[in-house]
Structure 1
Amino acid sequence: MEHNKKSCIYVDADACPGEVKDKILEYIHLADIRFVATYNHYSSNQDHALWTYIDDGSEAVDLYILNRVKRGDLVITQDIGLASLVLAKGVYAISPRGKEYNQDTIETSLSFRYLYQEERKKGRFHTGPKKVSKNDLDAFSTCLIKYLTENAGKN
């Protein structure tokens, strides 16, 4: 295995907006990028050297990523649960909207996620997430560039 391997970026791709995936690809020369999705999201138009498709399951993508990340890698996910698990491994985690997950605030985020899920069970919050805005993409780009800059040459 190569010792000077670039940082690895794992993308929880099932729910990652297309605009964010396109933004990630702009930095392919700086990091080893792995999009991970279930076969339900398979597309023959994707560069299959960058994509890993796995069997469907409620946590299948999360488990695949969790079992492969190492300290210093980046995970891009909307899943706060996955973010909390990778943070514990010394992995940097951001959302597709440019939110940096960190150890200081992850417990609060998990609590809000639980409350939101309870409200959804009661019939509230039927709509899905809002469309990614230019501000979201700008925030995401800022986080991604920060990660790449801070980790340049560390691996």
Structure 2
Amino acid sequence: MSDGAARAAQVWVDADACPGPVKEIVFRAAERARVQVTLVANQWLRTPPSRFIRAMQVQGGYDAADDAIAERATTGDLVVTQDIPLAARVLANGADAVDPRGERFTADTIAERLSMRNFMDELRGAGVQTGGPAAFNARDRQAFANQLDRWLAARR
């Protein structure tokens, strides 16, 4: 902020591929904890009426939403994403990052996660069927809610 005032920490959601139940958890937390939440996507998103929740539609290509989040997320913010390169970028900015299944990305684990992601991309590029992620389930939803609650508690 240009006037030198401290900006409150906020939650950024990489919303294009974020499961609906995770968005609902974030929406409820925004109201309960009075924390600003911004969903970023390259398509129009419906959000509940709230002074704490907004959607940002970005134009452009493949990484436009990731770029918008990486440019804005700073120390103290939380980014919800399953995109490992985006998680690495926001960690470098001092933000926290968690995936929709509740797994935190950390400075200690991000290099290994990037390496495994790149390896799997190479396998897929060579025609190897690697399968996709397991279906999102109640345990994933609870793990995410727990991580969000921890982040909210730490910011108080």
Scaled by the length of structure 1, the TM-score of the pair is 0.88
| Corresponding residue for residue 47 of structure 2 | 46
SS of the counterpart of 1:26?
helix
1:65 equivalenced with 2:66 (yes/no): no
SS in structure 2 opposite 1:67? helix
Change (3 A) 1:84 1:46: same
Q: Would you say 1:135 and 2:139 are equivalent positions?
A: yes
Percent identity between the aligned chains?
35
Letter matched to residue 20 of structure 1:
V
**CA apart distance, 1:46:** 3.1
Matches of 2:79 and 2:41 in 1, distance apart? 13
Matches within 5 A, 1:48-127: 50-125=54-129, 127=131
* Cα RMSD for the two superposed structures: 1.9
SS at match of 2:97: strand
Partner of 2:23: 21
1:121 deviation in Å? 1.1
| Partner-residue secondary structure (3-state), 1:110 | helix
Q: Distance in 1 between matches of 2:90 and 2:136?
A: 24
Q: Which runs of 4+ in 1 moved over 6 A?
A: none
Q: Counterpart of 2:150 in 1: which secondary structure? A: helix
TM-score computed with the length of structure 2 as normaliser: 0.87
Distance 2:76 2:9 in 1: 7
Change (3 A) 1:125 1:147: farther
Give distance in 2, aligned partners of 1:32 and 1:119. 39
Name the structure, 1 or 2, with higher relative contact order (CA <8 Å, separation 6+).
Answer: 1
Q: Unaligned stretches of 5+ in structure 2?
A: none
Aligned residues: 149
